[in-house]
């Protein structure tokens, strides 16, 4: 016995097999991207030229239409996420604090939203509720009618309710994940309920759900093409119009995929930046 401590070598969790698999996946990804890029290079892109004239003698200017479609897509995404999350906070909170009638209603709302496809919800609003308004004379001839007949507003409402339902359940878990000791300590020094909520409970719950929120925003982005089913010409809707007008299949789809992939990368990078700014206790 020399009295010297024996050094302990920790096993590297990244084994040779894991590194080999990661390298193979990386090589395959690069090869696929190169193949797609080469294929796209030899495809037909003249229709994106603003001066392009189609077979009907018209100049549709698809490039500008895609820009306008991008604006609609971003509007659907940003407004539905902001308003939906604002609704999700009380929906999640009331399930934790009560009273039980409101908690039951909030739970039923989240269950319905999470248990039914977004497409069904959108069609229930547009083809269901929207078809009732024209039968009411005072609505049809009122200043509200131009807004109530626009498919964009029904799509926006459907996306807001969908995001609120999913995030409401996630916020419920976030509120429950905050240690009760922190809340009791805040009350012990004289903080009221709303002060505790504003200064401690809501910020801590938001940090808990922040990684999940990133995935939910990306999922919301990928749900926006459903708006095309109710006459909303977002990015996907413009791409479908170009396909039907020009009888081309892959070019508009590749452009749509590139736009959504870029937006997803931006969203993921923005959330990762925010997460890095927030001090997190790990381990």
Q: What is the pLDDT of residues 193-217, one digit of tens each?
A: 888 888 888 888 998 898 889 899 9
**Residues contacting 183, CB < 8 A, separation 6+:** 196, 200, 201
**What average pLDDT score do residues 14-27 get?**
68
Write the DSSP symbol of residue 127. I
Neighbouring CB atoms inside 10 A of 206's CB total 15
Nearest to 205 by CA among 183, 251, 162, 173: 173
Average pLDDT over residues 26-38: 68
- pLDDT over 60 at 13, yes or no: no
Q: Is the pLDDT of residue 260 over 80?
A: yes
Residues 93, 166: Cα–Cα separation, whole Å? 14
Least confident of 27-41, 149-163, 254-268: 27-41
Long-range contacts of 30-39 (CB under 8 A, 24+ apart): 36/254
Q: CB atoms < 10 A from the CB of 44, how many?
A: 10
The pLDDT of residue 189 is 87
pLDDT at 64: 92
- Please give the angle made by the CA atoms of 76, 174 and 194, to the nearest 5 degrees: 90
Provide the angle, in degrees to the nearest 10, between the axes of the packed helices 250-277 and 16-41: 140
Confidence (pLDDT) at 16: 61
How much is the average pLDDT of 35-62? 75
Residues contacting 174, CB < 8 A, separation 6+: 92, 205, 206, 208, 209
Query: Looking at residue 184, what is its pLDDT?
Result: 86
pLDDT tens digits, one per residue of 139-181: 777 787 777 778 899 999 999 999 999 999 999 999 999 888 8
Q: Which fold has domain 62-277?
A: MetI-like fold (1.10.3720)
- The mean-pLDDT minimum among 33-42, 111-120, 259-268 falls in 33-42
More confident residue, 1 or 211: 211
Residue, of 245 and 91, whose pLDDT is higher: 91
Q: What is the mean pLDDT of residues 112-122?
A: 93
Q: How confident is the model at residue 39 (pLDDT cuts 50, 70, 90)?
A: low
Sign of CA dihedral 112, 116, 118, 119: negative
User: Which of 24-38, 237-251, 257-271 is predicted with the least confidence, judged by mean pLDDT?
Assistant: 24-38
Q: Is the pLDDT of residue 283 over 60?
A: no
Q: Helix (H, G, I), strand (E, B), or coil: what is residue 90?
A: helix
Average pLDDT estimate for 76-97: 94
**pLDDT for res 45:** 82
Find, among 183, 172, 156, the residue nearest to 73 by Cα.
Answer: 156
Q: How far apart are CA 166 and CA 169, in angstroms?
A: 6
| C-beta of residue 154 within 8 angstroms of C-beta of residue 121 | no
What predicted TM-score, i.e. pTM, was given to this entire model? 0.82
- Confidence (pLDDT) at 72: 94
Examine the pLDDT at 7 and tell me if it is beyond 60.
Answer: no
Structure tokens given for 257: 């995929």
Average pLDDT over residues 89-99: 91
Q: Looking at residue 280, what is its pLDDT?
A: 59
pLDDT of residue 140: 73
- According to DSSP H, which parts of the chain are helical? 16-41, 62-97, 100-115, 118-123, 130-132, 137-140, 145-148, 151-177, 180-188, 193-196, 202-223, 235-246, 250-277
**Using an 8 Å Cβ cutoff, are 227 and 239 in contact?**
no
Mean of all residue pLDDT scores within the chain? 84
The answer to whether residue 281 scores a pLDDT higher than 90 is no
């Amino acid at each position: 016995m020399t009295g010297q401590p024996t050094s302990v070598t920790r096993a590297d969790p990244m084994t040779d097999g894991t590194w080999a698999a990661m390298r193979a996946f990386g090589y395959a990804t690069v090869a696929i991207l190169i193949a797609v890029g080469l294929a796209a290079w030899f495809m037909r892109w003249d229709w994106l030229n603003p001066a392009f004239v189609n077979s009907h003698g018209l100049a549709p200017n698809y490039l500008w239409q895609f820009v306008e479609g991008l604006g609609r897509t971003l509007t659907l995404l940003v407004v539905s996420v902001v308003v939906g999350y604002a609704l999700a906070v009380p929906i999640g909170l009331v399930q934790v604090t009560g009273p039980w009638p409101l908690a039951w209603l909030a739970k039923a709302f989240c269950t319905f939203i999470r248990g039914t496809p977004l497409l069904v919800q959108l069609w229930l609003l547009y083809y269901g509720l929207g078809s009732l308004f024209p039968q009411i004379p005072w609505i049809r001839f009122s200043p509200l009618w131009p807004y109530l007949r626009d498919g964009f507003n029904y799509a926006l409402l459907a996306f807001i309710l969908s995001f609120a339902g999913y995030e409401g359940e996630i916020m419920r878990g976030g509120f429950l994940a905050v240690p009760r000791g922190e809340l009791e300590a805040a009350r012990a020094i004289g903080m009221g309920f709303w002060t505790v909520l504003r200064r401690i409970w809501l910020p801590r719950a938001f940090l808990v759900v922040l990684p999940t929120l990133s995935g939910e925003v990306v999922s919301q982005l990928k749900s926006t093409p459903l708006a095309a089913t109710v006459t909303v010409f977002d990015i996907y809707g413009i791409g479908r119009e170009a396909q039907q007008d020009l009888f081309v299949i892959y070019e508009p789809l590749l452009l749509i995929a590139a736009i959504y992939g870029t937006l997803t990368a931006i969203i993921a990078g923005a959330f990762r930046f925010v997460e890095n700014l927030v001090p997190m206790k790990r381990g």
